[in-house]
Amino acid sequence: MTLPKTADIVIIGGGVMGASTAYHLAERGQKNIVLLEKEDFFGQGATGRCAGGIRYQFATEVNVRLSIESLPMFERFEEEIGQAVDYRRCGYLFLLSEEEDTNKFRKNVEMQHRLGVKTEWLEGDEVRRRLPLMRLQDIIAATWHADDALADPNGTVMGYINRGQQMGVKTLNAAEVTGICVDHGKISDVETSLGSISTPVLVNTAGPWAGVIGGMAGVNIPITPVRRQMLTTAPLSDIPADFPFVIDFAQSLYFHREGEGLLTGMSNPGEKPGFDQNIDPDWELTHLEAAIARLPLLEKAGLVAHWAGLYEVTPDAHPIYGKTPVEGFFVCAGFSGHGFMHGPVSGKLMAEFILEGQARTVDVSMLDLARFEEGRLVREYNVV
């Protein structure tokens, strides 16, 4: 497809946020939408490299409310969008080994209950009973929510892209945005590797690159790319089919079933910000030692794949939604490592922002860009 000369709305980035935004705008009847993706395929950024976890368990009300809207959208995805996304309720189990975390998670569970999310509190002995394959002597307690789940990130992106295309969205790959023209404080043109396009509305859904895109329009969007990596193993016959998504919270170490094997990852707290997406072999060794200490059968596991991706981290670990100081320039980015699960609802919210001037489905007014300058940060403690 050649780049059109004009559009009513241009969206930058073909990850879950851009794809969902394009679909939700088109679904509401919006015409002349163009989505630009710099890579040869959609979903090659953070979305295609993520762990696919989707959960209700968060430490702030707004994140829980986003999950309450977004997770049922994954459940209905195949019916509504026509694409299978392997939605699988496996439950999330947060393992707690530090008193401080235990106290904070107790408060989280109370808040989640207030919002109707029935997270269960498990004492250490019950956790050890449920996970006999794991070494959990130091675990004080855990939180468990049976409806937390997994879904397929690539299926989700391509479902939205294909449905969007059927409704008239023009999607272009290998179309890198290289510049943004602002005229008298308003968006006017977008320069790309395929030429330039005039538009009054531009949506920045460039994930870890959203800060770079903001800079092109002279807008400071405080999003830092931080590398995270994981690996998958060959089949492990001892892992039961109902093995949950287990998170050792203090170590940011996690495991879930992937096919007949396991996926495991661990966040490096010392990782320097940057766009490097190569595997760090030293950290992989540290990760594997920690993973084997928790789950000794991993010692004999074969490696199937390993890769790195980028978290898109904001100063308060919450996303940025809505308008910017440049008229017509919107942002939906900065999900700080848990955005895949909020992709469906976020596209819906962006359609509301653009077409109605404000988000209605969930009140995300506190997650505006201005909060950083005005010192209204919203802390999320429950980041893995």
Please give the residue ranges that form the binding site for ligand FAD (CB under 6 A).
Answer: 12-18, 36-39, 44-47, 49-53, 176-177, 205-209, 228, 230, 265, 309-312, 333, 335, 337-341
- For the bound state, the minimum distance from the C-beta of residue 352 to ligand FAD, rounded and expressed in Å, comes to 18
- For the bound state, the minimum distance from the C-beta of residue 88 to ligand FAD, rounded and expressed in Å, comes to 13
For residues 236 and 384, which CB has a smaller minimum distance to ligand FAD in the complex?
384
- For the bound state, the minimum distance from the C-beta of residue 268 to ligand FAD, rounded and expressed in Å, comes to 11
* CA distances in angstroms from 220 to 28, 180, 181, 213, 349, listed in the order given: 30, 14, 16, 9, 22
What distance in Å separates the CA atoms of residue 320 and residue 16, rounded to the nearest whole number?
A: 15
For residues 49 and 371, which CB has a smaller minimum distance to ligand FAD in the complex?
49
* 224-233 sheet: strands from edge to edge: 120-123, 141-145, 92-96, 245-248, 253-258, 261-266, 224-233, 303-313
- For the bound state, the minimum distance from the C-beta of residue 319 to ligand FAD, rounded and expressed in Å, comes to 8
Q: In the structure encoding, which two tokens stand for residue 47, read together? A: 């979305």
Q: Phi-psi region for residue 177, left (φ > 0), alpha (ψ -120 to 50) or beta?
A: beta
Residues 14-24 as b/e (b if ≥16 CB within 10 A, e otherwise) read bbbbbbbbbbb
Closest CA to 164 of 32, 258, 70, 271: 32
What distance in Å separates the CA atoms of residue 323 and residue 183, rounded to the nearest whole number?
A: 17
For residues 20 and 102, which CB has a smaller minimum distance to ligand FAD in the complex?
20
For residues 12 and 359, which CB has a smaller minimum distance to ligand FAD in the complex?
12
- For the bound state, the minimum distance from the C-beta of residue 229 to ligand FAD, rounded and expressed in Å, comes to 6
Closest CA to 208 of 221, 217, 219, 218: 221
For residues 261 and 337, which CB has a smaller minimum distance to ligand FAD in the complex?
337
The identity of residue 205, as a single letter, is T
For residues 102 and 199, which CB has a smaller minimum distance to ligand FAD in the complex?
199
- For the bound state, the minimum distance from the C-beta of residue 259 to ligand FAD, rounded and expressed in Å, comes to 16
- For the bound state, the minimum distance from the C-beta of residue 288 to ligand FAD, rounded and expressed in Å, comes to 16
- For the bound state, the minimum distance from the C-beta of residue 66 to ligand FAD, rounded and expressed in Å, comes to 10
For residues 14 and 124, which CB has a smaller minimum distance to ligand FAD in the complex?
14
Give how far the C-alpha of residue 349 lies from the chain's centroid of Cα atoms, to the nearest Å. 15
The identity of residue 97, as a single letter, is S
For residues 214 and 265, which CB has a smaller minimum distance to ligand FAD in the complex?
265
Residue 358 CB partners (closer than 8 Å, separation 6+): 352, 365
